[in-house]
Amino acid sequence: MKKDVAVQASTLTTRDTRISIAIVGMMFFIFGFVSWVNAILIPYFKIACELTNFESYLVAFAFYISYLVMSVPSSYLLKKIGFKKGMMFGFLAMAIGAFIFVPAALTRTYEIFLVGLFSIGAGLAVLQSAANPYITILGPIERAAQRFSIMGIANKGAGILAPLIFAAVVLRATDNEMFAQLPLMTPEERSVILDELIRRVILPYSIMGVALIGLGLFVRFSPLPEIDTEHETEEVAKSNSGKTNIMQFPHLILGAIGIFLHVGTQVIAIDTIIGYAESMNIQLFEAKVFPSYTLTATIIGYILGIFCIPKFFSQLTALRFCTILGVALTLLIVFTSGDVRLLGHTADISIWFVVLLGFANSLIWAGIWPLALDGLGKFTKLGGSVMIMGLCGNAILPLIYGHFADLYSVRTAYWVLLPCYLYLVYYAVYGFRIRRWALTNATKPLAPAVSPLNQQTENN
């Protein structure tokens, strides 16, 4: 078998680049399908395993805390065995997690489900550590937001389908009546009903496990090239002279904090909206579509990014607009009220501002990544892993939301979004410019020799 040879991204032909983007796009579709199904797993487990709001959001915690645990080890794994073999191992870890759902469902043991979710998340940590830097460097950096928007459409498109497919497989039209009768049942009767309910996940997750093994083998033997991130240009090497560790890149560390907060706000907007709809007396069978509305709003933002960046505005301008919009929508969620009928649903108007958070979140990820990885050179793999560690925000912020939802209300808990968006505004306006930790002269323009981002920064 021919050994994979690492190549510089700049030497790839247009055809090779397009093939690579298509393969990574397929991977982002898988990321989205596996990740956003959590939006319906949370209320599903809450009923089947008889959980509080806080306990139900341990689904997101177990899934995403693995990013914190596995991201740095992933960078060393990728450095040792390469992108493609590393991706294969990532898919295999996800498959193991899917198979763990079988004994968890047979025993209706929530803790075993959480172990399975952690394993799936660990595999995704490896895949994301490879895929996101890949997309960042696979073409001109000033067009990175376009490429991320394409990946985002694949990711969120899968996210729209995942809850609907899961609901079609495991939920039935008569379940609403059954859920209403649960409090009136004896413990023995309720146990029998809930055992049957939870075992409905066995078949779909078994199929998912087999499919993930197949995808791992496909990526391993695909024409996806190994990208060389170990060799620096003369300009980047000069800029990074004297730097010996990743903590010497403030714009990266601040960007990772931004990713932590961004993904937390994103998962809150998607994974809590079913519970918020239920607080308005909308039953689960109807409420299941609301995550798809939020993800559709995100996809609309991605499409605008693809066609408008950088022709009409830069990715930095888009980042600033989206972060400010997030602040405005958060305030509208907590301060506005009144029933409206839209898309066949009668609900408080504030839920539609939660839906619109999908649009606000659309170009934040794409805006932060190229700014944070700019000029890292041989530190790119490790820098990508540090950024992926920020995905543990998906684990922590929903728990904070769930705590305040139990303590106050599901609506009041949306206040947790405000400081997150305010920090993102700070990074978009100032934080990405910081190149050393000194208290004075801490910022400097990006040198043209280092990155084309200089021109877009100066134009904004």
DSSP letters, 181-194, are HGGGS-HHHHHHHH
456 within a domain of the structure (yes/no): no
Whether residue 354 has pLDDT greater than 50? yes
Q: At residue 134, does pLDDT exceed 90?
A: no
Identify the band that residue 236 occupies on the pLDDT scale cut at 50, 70 and 90.
Answer: low
> What confidence tier does 389 reach under pLDDT thresholds 50, 70, 90?
confident
Note the pLDDT tens digit of each residue in 187-219.
Answer: 888 888 999 989 999 998 999 999 999 988 988
Q: What are residue 456's phi and psi, to 5 degrees?
A: -70, -30
**Which of 182-186, 222-226, 445-449 is modeled with the greatest confidence?**
182-186
Q: In the predicted model, is pLDDT for residue 8 greater than 70?
A: no
Q: Dump the DSSP string for 369-432.
A: HHHHHTT-GGGHHHHHHHHHHGGGHHHHHHHHHHHHHHHT-TTGGGGGHHHHHHHHHHHHHTGG
The CA distance from 102 to 152, in Å, is: 30
Q: What is the mean pLDDT of residues 410-439?
A: 90
**Total Cβ atoms within 10 A of residue 42:** 22
pLDDT given for residue 440 in this prediction? 45
Q: Rounded mean pLDDT of 327-343? A: 94
Q: In the block, which residue shows the tokens 């041989």?
A: 378
- Tell me if 24 is assigned to some domain: yes
In a domain, 453, yes or no: no
Cβ within 8 Å of residue 151, ≥6 positions away: 24, 25, 28, 131, 135
Q: How many domains does one find in the chain?
A: 1
The answer to whether the CB of 282 falls within 8 A of the CB of 347 is: yes
Burial class (CB in 10 A: 0-12, 13-18, 19+), 86: buried
pLDDT in tens, 107-118: 999 999 999 999
How high is the pLDDT of residue 418? 97
The DSSP call for residue 231 is P
Count, residues in the chain? 460
Say how many CA atoms lie within 13 Å of 423 toward its Cβ: 17
Average pLDDT of the residues of the chain: 82
Which pLDDT does position 234 carry in this prediction?
Answer: 56
What's the mean pLDDT in 248-275? Answer: 90
- In this predicted structure, what is the pLDDT of residue 95? 95
Can you tell me the mean pLDDT for 289-314? 87
- Report the CATH number that the domain containing residue 229 is assigned in CATH: 1.20.1250.20
Q: State the average pLDDT over residues 342-351.
A: 91
pLDDT class for 358, splitting at 50, 70, 90? very high
CA distance linking residue 47 with residue 419, whole number of Å: 31
Residue 213, in any domain of the structure: yes
Residue 445 lies in a domain: no
Q: What is the mean pLDDT of residues 328-347?
A: 92
User: Would residue 301 count as lying in a domain?
Assistant: yes
Residue 450 in any domain: the answer is no
Query: Is residue 454 predicted with pLDDT exceeding 50?
Result: no
* Minimum mean pLDDT range among 32-46, 166-180, 401-415, 445-459: 445-459
High-pLDDT (> 90) share of the chain, % = 30
- Note down the domain range covering 204: 8-435
Instruction: Write down the pLDDT at residue 377.
Output: 72
pLDDT of residue 127: 85
**Mean pLDDT in residue range 167-173:** 81
Q: What is the pLDDT of residue 230?
A: 56
Give dist(CA 156, CA 141) in Å, integer.
23
Which pLDDT belongs to residue 240? 57
Max intra-chain CA distance, the chain: 73
Specify if 447 maps to a domain.
no
Angle between helices 202-220 and 83-107 (to 10 degrees): 170
